[in-house]
Chain A
Amino acid sequence: MGNRTVIPFGPQHPVLPEPIHLDLVLEDETVVEAIPRIGYIHRGLEKLVEKKDYQQYTYVAERICGICSFMHGMGYCMAIESIMDVKIPERAEFLRTIWSELSRLHSHLLWLGLLADGFGFESLFMQSWKLREQVLDIFEETTGGRVIFSVCDIGGVRKDISAETLKKIDNIMNSMEKEVKEITEVFLHDSSVKMRTKGVGVLSKQMAFDLGAVGPMARASGIDLDLRTTGYAAYGKINLQPIVEQDGDCYARTSVRMREMFQSMDIIKQCIALIPDGDIKVKVTGNPTGEHFTRVEQPRGEVVYYAKANGTKYLDRVRVRTPTFANIPALLETLKGCSLADVPILILTIDPCISCTER
């Protein structure tokens, strides 16, 4: 046994957009243990539910995360709608699905850019973010915001997308598919990129299951877990197969996300073809009483929303379990036995979103 050294990793580190601290216990260059510490950016957003009424809290829920903001808002709205027994119009369900999948697309493109930056491929990073810009423009045109949309509301959505804009989105998806294919070649087939990802940080299927991994992290290890198959919003009305890889390494996780982007584009096109005309919102009156759990599939995995209402306009409790929090134990497991130079790539492949985790 060699000498053990402890190297602090983070909270400030070039690969980390947000602060998380890991104490890496090393033997020579090999990591034997990683001890995490979170809590640098706790904002007390769950406590805020006592100060803001249940309709105002929609805006707070959206601001839990800057990347999957739409799905946070949607998860919260779905929980309240279930408590109040509100059935939202079909068009609103389809609009929610379109915005959710656009969120997934922009989140995965952002992540691919960060991964490319993590292994030092600057032009690939720029290329990914250039593609992402088109999705952000769609968001700005349809909702008015680039990352915070404020369109999801209890009882439906606030804004409609016109038929011309839907047609335009369809065309953008077609052209984007070709452009994303170009970078897929690089991420999945370039030999220098493969050297950094293939066989690195293997998480076995059993380990992923035992540690409760979610989202692409679980699917890359062979677990068929995709909550969209439960059919919330309009997912029950469209054709959708979970994307699963078996290897459980960084390459498999990249591959799952790459294939999910094509799946998202396909879902958006299916939704545009199927979207019915009609209202986008039903009027919600009164205050909620009761409690409900909602599970939504975010780009990073499963998010759980729990809401408890007491019949007044202020809720008793809102609890959010975010995907990154569920993936941290799996991350610590993959870090064991890897070399110090692979640590940044491994941390990136769980797609960490620390603001969500600490709320």
Chain B
Amino acid sequence: MSILSMSKTLFKNLFHGPYTTLYPIKPKENFERTRGKIGITVDDCIFCGMCERRCPTGAIKVDKSKSSWSIERFQCIQCNYCNEVCPKKCLRMENQYTSPANEKARDEYIKCTNTQSPSE
């Protein structure tokens, strides 16, 4: 039978200082593989719609006629499936999370198809 068996650990912790970090002042550094949010290089996108069909939550919408790719950030579960099936590899998983928001909104990316210069 022993009593005060925790005291050694407690004293160690007492003189060690906090194990946590002061979050907003000292931001957490994410790992390279951290699944934060999906990013897109829309200029490389061919709007094949593979990501839309494979997305388990239906967060992605692709409109070929308008050359637009959009994502509902709150629906996305960061599973990385769209990134894996993308034939052009224009999608990527970024290791930064989306910033908090008050309302749900769709992030839309539109490919600029007008190649004429303003003078023409």
Chain A residues engaging chain B, CB cutoff 8 angstroms = 52, 56, 59-60, 63, 121, 123-124, 127, 130, 133, 140-145, 148, 150, 158-159, 182-183, 185-186, 189-192, 194
Contact = CB atoms under 8 A, between A and B. Distances in A.
A189 B6 CA distance: 10
B43 interface: no
A191 B10 contact: no
B9 A144 contact: no
B9 A59 contact: no
Contact of B6 (A60, A63, A123, A194): A123
B8 A59 contact: no
B9 A183 contact: yes
Interface string B67-102: 000000000011111001000000001000000000
B79 A127 contact: no
Contacts of B8: 182
Contact of B80 (A142, A150, A186): A150
B5 A185 contact: yes
Contacts, number: 67
B33 A59 contact: no
B23 interface: no
B65 interface: no
14 contacts: A52-B56, A56-B54, A121-B6, A124-B6, A140-B30, A140-B34, A141-B33, A144-B78, A150-B35, A150-B79, A182-B8, A183-B9, A190-B6, A192-B3
A189 B56 contact: no
Interface in B48-71: 54, 56
Contact of B33 (A52, A159, A182, A194): A159
B113 interface: no
B15 interface: no
A56 B85 CA distance: 12
B1 interface: yes
B10 A123 contact: yes
A56 B10 CA distance: 47
Contact of A140 (B5, B6, B33, B54): B33
B41 interface: no
Nearest to B2: A189
Contacts of A189: 1-2, 5
Interface of B: 1-3, 5-6, 8-10, 13, 19, 30-31, 33-35, 54, 56, 77-81, 84, 93
Contacts of A133: 19
* B5, B30, B54 interface centre (most CB from chain A within 10 Å): B5
Most chain A beta-carbon contacts within 10 A, residue among B8, B9, B78: B9
B84 A158 contact: yes
B6 A144 contact: no
A142 B84 CA distance: 17
A141 B93 CA distance: 14
A192 B4 CA distance: 9
Given A60-B56, A182-B9, A183-B9, 8 more contacts: A63-B77, A127-B6, A140-B31, A142-B33, A144-B80, A144-B93, A150-B78, A192-B3
A177 to B, nearest CB: 15
Contacts of A192: 3
Contacts of A191: 1-3
A30 B79 CA distance: 49
A60 B54 CA distance: 13
B34 A127 contact: no
Nearest to A140: B31
B89 to A, nearest CB: 16
Which 7 interchain pairs have the tightest Cβ spacing? A144-B35, A144-B33, A56-B56, A191-B1, A190-B5, A141-B31, A150-B79
A57 to B, nearest CB: 8
A54 B63 CA distance: 26
